[in-house]
């Protein structure tokens, strides 16, 4: 009997502890806020981060970046290669009680294709989306599109009924300055429901106990309080003083200190973003250089610059270890990446000088390097280091670093000849890199190719891979493009950024390489 009582007491204790553990509020901070809660109005990282808690996509990338069932349980190409079929999860309800059907999915995907939508670019191959029955959706594309699901990982599903009764059937016209019900309210199927939202100040979300994945995920967080904090010193102070529990992207110079602080740990992992320098090889004469002709048009010059840049030193000195030096123009987990591309050539200033002489610039030349100073991690410092390194082989670099709004405006106007840029690859396929950075700049394709690089074979293959359904064949085509462009040395890759998340040390939350925290995965150790 006595034993029984103690057992009961212990069970009672355990259940109290369990409920105490499950009532965990997480105070989350990062430097920027979500721009809007309308899930289709902005294709931007911090915006999707908040939406991922409130809404669900059909498929998403889990902590290991694998494509994982969200609101779709199965998907595959039908007998018609132009049609993808998605089986929709049954028994899912929205926060306000509507049940999810294929009709809502079709509605949401079509909403994301609307002119106002910022997500439409990811669905440009789609011609029709229709609900076949209550739990089946067909997506028809204008040609075979083998990678359609890769484009859906941030494509959130809304309730048609809610959208219609609140007059938000079309996405908010973000650029035109529209304010709709969906901008500051949300009715998703996500693991968390919105409690309150004050833009730039604070967003509160509470656990959705009816979540379809309640038994699949840990779901230990009961409340999320999200506060954007801009000043880096204040971010660090806030986590050191215990006022916040989870800080995304702490300043690199403080990571060391944070990881040594009591009660705080820092999780790190590779980020889906490569930092590199671009050179305009297509012009006859450079505006920002007094050199004879265009030095960048010589492959030898580009190779010499590659040999002069010591990315390991940049990693050690500028990035304090928080970078992954690379010779490839894409991060390791992207389809098309190879160990061989990743390997950088040995730094060799002797050889670099010889190459410059071969190209007709034995005494080097002068050039202006344009850099943003508030976009990438330590962007300006990286450029300063590069300036010194190129100086070693006789290239006199003048550094011009400015705020990102000015930098990117000039870049897109095609005015820059030697510039820094960073590129992430959300669909995790080389296709995305070729399309924007290597295809001849026609406005539509190659819209971020400001190097003047233009290669017919590359253009042909780039268009080809977007429709090739035989994945083996497709990978060969990808490899061929990489061979051509790596041989050309169109860009000078420096490193892949490394992500860091700082958190209370009883939190278990590994870094997700897309920089998307999903709080349903967060666990606590006691």
Partner 1 sequence: MIAYSLRRLIQALFVMLAVALISFTLFQFVGDPINNMLGQEATTADRDALRDRLGLNDPIPIQFLRFVGNAVQGEFGISYRSNRPVSDLILERLPATLELAFVSAVFAVTLGISMGVYTALRRDGWASRVIMTVSLIGVSLPTFLIGILLIYLFAVELGWLPPFGRGDTVDLGAWTTGFLTTSGLRSLILPAITLGLFQLTLIMRLVRAEMLEVLRTDYIRFARARGLPNRAVNFGHALKNTLVPVITITGLQLGSIIAFAIITETVFQWPGVGLLFINAVRFVDVPVMSAYLVFIGLVFVTINLLVDLLYYAVDPRMRIGSPVGR
Which residues of the chain form contacts with partner 1 (CB under 8 A)?
Answer: 35-36, 42-44, 118, 121, 172, 174-179, 183, 198-202, 227-231, 233-234, 237-238, 240-243, 374, 403, 405-406, 408-409, 412, 436, 443-444, 447-448
Q: Write down the least CB distance from residue 443 to partner 1, Å.
A: 5
Cβ at position 412, least distance to partner 1 in Å: 7
Smallest separation (angstroms) from partner 1 to the CB of 407:
8
Residue whose token pair is 């950024």: 497
Residue 347, CA atoms < 13 Å, CB-side half-sphere = 15
CB of 154 to partner 1, least distance (A): 12
Indicate the residue among 10 and 233 with the shorter CB distance to partner 1: 233
By beta-carbon proximity to partner 1, the closer residue of 130 and 184 is 184
For partner 1, which is the closer residue by CB, 276 or 365?
A: 276
Query: What is the DSSP track for 24-38?
Result: EEEEEEES---S-S-
Q: How far apart are CA 523 and CA 521, in angstroms?
A: 6
**What are the distances in angstroms from CA 236 to CA 83, 251, 264?**
50, 8, 11
Neighbours of 518 (CB within 10 A): 19
Closest C-alpha to 523, from 267, 333, 322: 267
**What SS3 state is found at 253?**
helix
SS3 assignment, position 75: strand
Closer to partner 1 at the Cβ: 300 or 514? Answer: 514
Nearer CB in complex with partner 1: 76/121 = 121
**Residue 218 · residue 243 · CB < 8 Å:** no
Min dist CB 330 to partner 1, Å, is 16
Q: Please state the closest distance from residue 175 (CB atom) to partner 1, in A.
A: 5
Nearer to partner 1, 30 or 353 (CB): 30
The CB-of-437 to partner 1 minimum distance in angstroms stands at: 11
> Measured from the CB atom, is 43 or 136 closer to partner 1?
43
Residues 6+ apart with CB under 8 A from 448: 421, 423, 436, 437
Smallest separation (angstroms) from partner 1 to the CB of 255: 16
For 256, phi and psi rounded to 5 degrees?
-55, -45
C-alpha separations of 152 from 38, 94, 414, 430, 512 in Å:
16, 19, 31, 17, 17
What is the token pair recorded at 525?
A: 């150790």
389's CB contacts (< 8 A; 6+ apart) are: 308, 309, 310, 313
Taking the least distance from each CB to partner 1, the nearer of 361 and 423 is 423
Neighbours of 260 (CB within 10 A): 10
**216 closest CA partner among 523, 520, 524, 507:** 520
């Amino acid at each position: 009997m006595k034993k029984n009582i103690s057992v009961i007491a212990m069970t009672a204790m355990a259940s109290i502890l369990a409920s105490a553990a499950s009532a965990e509020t997480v105070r989350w901070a990062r430097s920027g806020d979500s721009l809007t809660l309308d899930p289709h109005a902005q294709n931007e990282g911090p915006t999707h981060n908040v939406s991922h808690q409130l809404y669900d996509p059909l498929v998403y990338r889990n902590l290991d970046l694998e494509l994982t069932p969200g609101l779709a349980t199965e998907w595959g190409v039908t007998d018609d290669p132009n049609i993808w079929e998605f089986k929709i999860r049954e028994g899912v309800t929205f926060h306000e009680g509507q049940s999810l059907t294929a009709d809502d999915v079709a509605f949401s995907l079509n909403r994301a294709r609307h002119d106002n939508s910022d997500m439409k670019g990811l669905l440009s191959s789609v011609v029709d989306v229709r609900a076949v029955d209550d739990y089946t959706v067909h997506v028809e594309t204008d040609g075979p599109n083998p990678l359609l699901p890769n484009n859906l990982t941030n494509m959130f599903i809304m309730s048609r009924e809610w959208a219609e009764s609140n007059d938000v059937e079309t996405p908010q016209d973000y650029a035109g300055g529209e304010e709709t019900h969906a901008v500051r309210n949300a009715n998703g199927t996500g693991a968390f429901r919105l409690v309150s939202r004050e833009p730039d100040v604070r967003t509160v979300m509470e656990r959705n106990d009816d979540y379809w994945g309640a038994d699949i995920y840990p779901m230990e967080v009961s409340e999320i309080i999200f506060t954007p904090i801009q000043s880096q010193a204040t971010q660090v102070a806030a986590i050191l003083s215990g006022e916040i529990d989870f800080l995304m992207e702490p300043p690199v110079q403080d990571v060391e200190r944070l990881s040594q602080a009591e009660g705080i740990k820092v999780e790190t992992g590779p980020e889906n973003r490569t930092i590199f320098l671009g050179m305009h090889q297509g012009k006859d004469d450079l505006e920002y250089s007094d050199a004879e002709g265009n030095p960048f048009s010589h492959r030898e010059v580009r190779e010499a610059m590659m040999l002069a840049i010591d990315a390991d030193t940049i990693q050690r000195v500028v990035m304090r270890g928080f970078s992954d030096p690379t010779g490839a123009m894409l991060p390791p987990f992207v389809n098309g990446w190879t160990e061989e591309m990743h390997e950088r050539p040995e730094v060799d200033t002797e050889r670099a000088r010889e190459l410059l002489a071969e190209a007709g610039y034995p005494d080097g030349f002068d050039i202006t390097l344009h850099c943003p100073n508030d976009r990438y991690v330590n962007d300006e410092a990286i450029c300063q280091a590069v300036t010194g390194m190129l100086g070693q082989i006789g290239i006199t670099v003048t550094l011009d670093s400015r705020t990102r709004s000015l930098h990117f405006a000039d870049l897109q106007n095609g005015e820059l000849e030697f510039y820094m840029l960073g590129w992430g690859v959300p669909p995790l396929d080389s296709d995305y890199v070729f399309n924007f950075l290597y295809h001849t700049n026609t406005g539509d394709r190659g819209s971020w190719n400001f190097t003047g690089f233009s290669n017919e074979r590359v253009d042909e293959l780039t268009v080809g891979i977007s429709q090739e359904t035989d994945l083996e064949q497709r990978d060969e085509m990808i490899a061929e493009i990489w061979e051509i462009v790596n041989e050309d040395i169109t860009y000078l890759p420096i490193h892949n950024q490394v992500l860091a998340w700082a958190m209370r040390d009883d939190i278990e939350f590994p870094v997700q390489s897309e920089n998307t925290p999903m709080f349903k995965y967060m666990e606590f150790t006691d």
